[in-house]
Structure 1
Amino acid sequence: MKPPKIAPAGAMSAIAPEIRPGQSLELLKELHILTREGKLNQDSRRKLKQVYHLYQFIEKLLLELPASDAGITLADHGAGKSYLGFILYDLFFKTLALGQIYGIETRPELVQKSRELAARLGFGRMHFLNLSVAESAESAELPERIDVVTALHACDTATDDAIAFGLQKHAQFMVLVPCCQAEVASCLRQNKALALARTPLAELWRHPLHTRELGSQITNVLRCLYLEASGYQVTVTELVGWEHSLKNELIIARYTGQKKRSAAERLRAVLEEFGLTALLETRFKQSSTGSEAATAGS
């Protein structure tokens, strides 16, 4: 197999000063950051900036992980074309002797394409699994522990499945960009008449557009509370500027082991206020019972 083409620093600068020394030119072309002629236009410059911006968030987390005999393990859920996994491997994992990246995707054609690209690039510690997020938690193809879990634009409840996966795999970090949060909005719709009779706050989701938007907001708030109740410190920020994507909320969860009782209590209170307590038996089951290790911290 012919080795992948990697340009020296001088050649990279000639193409574009933004591109880092040692990056795979073939990969950048596959991701449509470079044109087939090796050029970088204005649109691809914006895309490259977004890729680096996300990489910088995750790189800081990877550098915090202690050294181990197995190396770092990372699972990327709803991987799609696996652009995130490839960039992480190219910029971080490639120079390490150890460490594995697992791309989890339900579309077999994308999984196959990623496998072929990884083989061409010589990225031997990348693995691509044709599984749903929920199925991956029980798959023997993944190790018992995963250090970092990512899920970028994993649709609707796939983000919740990624959180459940991270809890089961004792992840040290989770990096989530939720998308298409429809489950809570559907529950709000079903209970709308009763809620309007019970409280004027139901006006917040009386109109269908507001139901959808409020459903998305509540979903992410519940996820953050659930993560805090499960022993994670949570940071919420913007991924990129809102002009690039409306689904732009980045949730970073760092495991501390401090399970917050107050977060579990607030989670239950929010669910009760919006008539969503059925979710305590599905999405947020663990936090409904509390924990002996829980702290009273807010």
Structure 2
Amino acid sequence: MNGKAVAKASKAEAELQELLRPGQSIELLKALHILTREGRLNQDSRRKLKQVYHLFQFIEKLLLELPEEGAHASLADHGAGKSYLGFILYDLFFGPRGGGRVYGIETRADLVDKSRALAKQLGFDRMAFLNISAAESADAAELPLQIDVVTALHACDTATDDAIAFGLAKQARFMVLVPCCQAEVAACLRQTKALALTRTPLAELWRHPLHTREIGSQLTNVLRCLYLEAHGYQVTVTELVGWEHSLKNELIIARRTGQRKASAAARLKELLAQFGLASMLETRFPMG
């Protein structure tokens, strides 16, 4: 290896060590294909790792608020995919504490099988992976009656709503959500567009198809936040990472207080009525 190659390799190694969190398993990152076999990062994996680390920082702070600083916490990750988040949480938080459990919930059987095999290979024996949907998970016998933390990173469309319903059913102390594509509200707006245009000038906000999609996405997350507040959660909305890393960037953090906000429930109902979505009170945002 010539001098330039050595210098380049040394620089890459230094950048990697600067990025990695203390205690992070290199072998895990290789197994997840975040690092190459040579232990290097490419541009895509760098972006992915930064995003997961950002989310880890938020979740770690919440876990530390739990009894015994989260030593025996339970966490359910919806739409887990390849379980980058779950594995890194276990490696950096749950593993060193010798307690707690991580549950990955994913509909794609091949990804569940791979995650189970990797957890066994690494000795991550307090990780479990369920091949079910977020909608089915609340009634799954494999899951405990109560879950401390619910996460959903880019769970598509209504899977985020199903994760919220799961969190409510399990009396989750915290929910950490990064919504992905949202089509349900936009589809409803599209169906009632002609009537809405005759009724209110606000309908101009979603007259054009592109605006329908954008307003539908924005409105969906506003409704989710009000729904959480109405069910006894304090809600914070922020950015996950810089826009250069991800367009699906909204991070919703819900902290259970047990104090239901009647004003949030009223605003939710008013918004649904204003946008012609009142039927969603029964299907998506029940107040029972």
TM beyond 0.5: yes
The residue type paired with residue 117 of structure 1 is: L
Question: What SS class does the counterpart of residue 243 from structure 1 fall into?
Answer: coil
Question: What SS class does the counterpart of residue 176 from structure 1 fall into?
Answer: strand
Aligned equivalents of 2:260, 2:61: Cα separation in 1 = 24
1:178-201 Cα distance to aligned partner (Å, 9 max, x none): 111100001001100100000111
Aligned equivalents of 1:244, 1:42: Cα separation in 2 = 10
Quote the RMSD (CA, aligned, Å).
1.8
Tell whether the 8 Å contact from 1:16 to 1:40 is kept in structure 2 after alignment: no
Tell whether the 8 Å contact from 2:71 to 2:94 is kept in structure 1 after alignment: no
The equivalent residue for 1:76 is 77
Structure 1 segment 225-244 matched on structure 2, within 5 A: 225-244=226-245
The equivalent residue for 1:24 is 25
Aligned equivalents of 1:266, 1:20: Cα separation in 2 = 42
Aligned equivalents of 2:90, 2:70: Cα separation in 1 = 18
The residue type paired with residue 272 of structure 2 is: L
Structure 1 segment 188-199 matched on structure 2, within 5 A: 188-199=189-200
The equivalent residue for 1:66 is 67
1:148 aligns with 2:149: yes
Aligned equivalents of 1:122, 1:102: Cα separation in 2 = 15
The equivalent residue for 1:55 is 56
The equivalent residue for 2:107 is 106
Q: Which runs of 4+ in 1 moved over 6 A?
A: none
The residue type paired with residue 139 of structure 2 is: E
Question: What SS class does the counterpart of residue 255 from structure 2 fall into?
Answer: strand
Structure 2: stretches of 5+ with no match in the other structure: 1-12
Tell whether the 8 Å contact from 1:77 to 1:151 is kept in structure 2 after alignment: yes
Aligned equivalents of 1:18, 1:280: Cα separation in 2 = 45
Identify if the C-alpha distance between structure 1 residues 91 and 68 changes in structure 2 by more than 3 Å, giving closer, same or farther: closer
The residue type paired with residue 177 of structure 1 is: V
Shift of 1:282: 1.1
Structure 1 segment 1-298 matched on structure 2, within 5 A: 16-41=17-42, 43-67=44-68, 71-286=72-287
The residue type paired with residue 169 of structure 2 is: Q
Tell whether the 8 Å contact from 2:71 to 2:97 is kept in structure 1 after alignment: no
Tell whether the 8 Å contact from 1:72 to 1:100 is kept in structure 2 after alignment: yes
1:121-166 Cα distance to aligned partner (Å, 9 max, x none): 1100000000000111101000000000000111111111100000
The residue type paired with residue 187 of structure 1 is: C
Aligned equivalents of 1:72, 1:149: Cα separation in 2 = 11
The residue type paired with residue 253 of structure 1 is: A
The equivalent residue for 2:9 is none
Shift of 1:42: 5.1
| Pairs aligned (count) | 276
Tell whether the 8 Å contact from 2:151 to 2:177 is kept in structure 1 after alignment: yes
Aligned equivalents of 1:261, 1:45: Cα separation in 2 = 44
Tell whether the 8 Å contact from 1:13 to 1:19 is kept in structure 2 after alignment: no
Tell whether the 8 Å contact from 2:238 to 2:251 is kept in structure 1 after alignment: yes
The residue type paired with residue 247 of structure 2 is: L
1:191-215 Cα distance to aligned partner (Å, 9 max, x none): 0010000011101101111101100
Question: What SS class does the counterpart of residue 76 from structure 1 fall into?
Answer: strand
The residue type paired with residue 255 of structure 1 is: R
Q: Could you say which structure has the higher helix fraction?
A: 2
Shift of 1:39: 2.3
Structure 1: stretches of 5+ with no match in the other structure: 1-11, 290-298
The residue type paired with residue 249 of structure 2 is: N
The residue type paired with residue 55 of structure 2 is: L
